[in-house]
Chains A and B, each alone.
Chain A
Amino acid sequence: MKKPDRALRDIHTADDAGGNGIHPLACLLVTILYILAVMSFQKYNMAGLAGMALYILILCIWYDISILDMLRHIWPAFLLTAMIGIANPIFDSTVSAGTLSMATLIVKGCLCAAAAYILIAQTGIRPLCSALRTLHFPKELIVVLLLMYRYLTALVREVKQMLTAYRLRTPGTKGLPFRTWGSFVGLLLLRSIDRAEEVYESMQLRGFQGDFLLSPGSYSPVWSAVYTVLWGIAIFALRFFPVFQMAEVLLWRILK
């Protein structure tokens, strides 16, 4: 789990990227295609999988995403897949096969997590929500999601302050002792519920009727289509053709 500071930094990545002109749904569709393609690689196909990293590389450059931040971000996925994969060298047919399958598993985990990270960095939560709404995603879920996103920072900051205040009065303790569990979290819960009641009043006063109507946003349909089609082709090619080898042959031919 996260420390408050890290969480706050991560939330900032989801601030509206805006202005790239590509519809969030196009980004979402491409991301899902990509993850599906990555997931479907065989467990020994490291070479093919490595090719899929191109997608991450290109988008990171294009959207100015710091690769270091991204690596830090996908750390949990790395840990988890490594934990599950560590058994492969022992239980697979041979140790080397097992090591290979563990490596592909970890790479898969990292690529998928990176793709989700890039999706958020290129769209932002709010445009993504408004795009999902156009797909008739249930309005209740979208409203809950947006409210949650809005109050995440406030509550994380509050927890941080409460923890600091607690630590200042009880030097040397690590974590929250048993007798304070209930009151510490309980008070936070009560404050959250009170906050929610006021938020509801504010929503009512401005005519809330069960839905958050959001800006449709201005996206270029042409660029969105181009983006989807190009990536669709690229992902298909990377998944089913030995693109790198073909390029190599081509390269040698040209050199000759």
Chain B
Amino acid sequence: MADIEITDVNFSYQKGREVLHQISLRVEHGRSVGIIGANGAGKSTLLKLPVGLLDGYEGTIRAAGQAVEKKNLAQIRKKVGYVFQNPDSQLFLPTLYEDVAFGPRNYGYPEEQVRQKVMEVLERVRMEHLKDRQIYRMSGGQKKLASIASVLSLDPEIILLDEPTIALDPKNRRNIIEMLNGMTETKVIASHDLDLILDTCEETVLLAEGSVICRGKTEELLTDPELLEAYDMELPLCMQGGRSRFRG
């Protein structure tokens, strides 16, 4: 069974203005799928559906083997992690340790296990030395890693990431990409950083005006300049001629 199954879903925030239209999407276990599209194409909305953040959709959604309904939400949210675009929204506790421990504590882990889990996750993102650091004193790259850590602490099977590399410098961006490639969990990444998608995702879904335009292997989709330009995007930088000059 697929990890995420979205079938014929329509969604609108306000009556009459449909944001998603007849969307169907399957993500198999262990795969990583990129969702690309111009601003306002519905990427973030689509990403929020499997964790039950949006009510009132039409169609069926299943995540981690369960239907996305109110009664299943607690279990689904434990298995499906969601990394917000803005780490300042995601990290709401004063220090890194407390924030990463928030999920496990709410799910009733005993304190000793919480500590173990937090340290394990912080080691994974190489931030153990910052565990007592105040969140507001961290750099953008550190916050991004921290928000991924705060999601990993619940051992999710599936991770949804909304624009994971936005506003990061090249080094931090590279760092995040390496981390994502090292993760074995199922991943869905929504971004218009096409180089990121090319580096991390096997498959890509192109979204425009709330509908799936096409889906395919990332290398094929992202090397098709006509298709991308038709939907207000450009080839990934590394595919553009100008860039190769510098690479030699």
A and B touch in the complex (CB under 8 A): yes
Question: How many interface residues does B have (CB within 8 Å)?
Answer: 34
CA–CA, A154 and B84, complex, Å: 17
CA–CA, A147 and B86, complex, Å: 16
CA–CA, A16 and B97, complex, Å: 12
CA–CA, A215 and B105, complex, Å: 10
Is A222 in the interface zone, CB < 8 Å from B?
A: no
Is B88 in the interface zone, CB < 8 Å from A?
A: yes
* Cross-interface CB contact of A207 among B53, B89, B107, cutoff 8 Å: B107
Known contacts: A15-B134, A150-B136, A206-B106. The answer to whether A214 contacts B92 by CB under 8 A is no
Contacts of A205 in B (CB 8 A): 51, 53, 77, 81-82
Whether A195 pairs with B53 at a CB distance below 8 angstroms is: no
Q: How many A-B residue pairs have CB under 8 A?
A: 75
The 0/1 profile, CB within 8 Å of A marked 1, for residues 61-89 of chain B is: 00000000000001001100110101011
Is A199 in the interface zone, CB < 8 Å from B?
A: yes
Q: Is the interface of B mostly helix, strand, loop or mixed?
A: helix
Q: Closest residue of chain A to B135, judged by CB?
A: A150
Instruction: For residue A117, give the distance in angstroms from its CB to the closest CB of chain B.
Output: 19
Whether B84 pairs with A212 at a CB distance below 8 angstroms is: no
Contacts of B211 in A (CB 8 A): none
Known contacts: A204-B53, A213-B106. The answer to whether A146 contacts B94 by CB under 8 A is yes
Known contacts: A206-B103, A207-B77. The answer to whether A150 contacts B132 by CB under 8 A is no
Is B45 in the interface zone, CB < 8 Å from A?
A: no
The 0/1 profile, CB within 8 Å of A marked 1, for residues 5-18 of chain B is: 00000000000000
Is A209 in the interface zone, CB < 8 Å from B?
A: yes
Is A137 in the interface zone, CB < 8 Å from B?
A: no
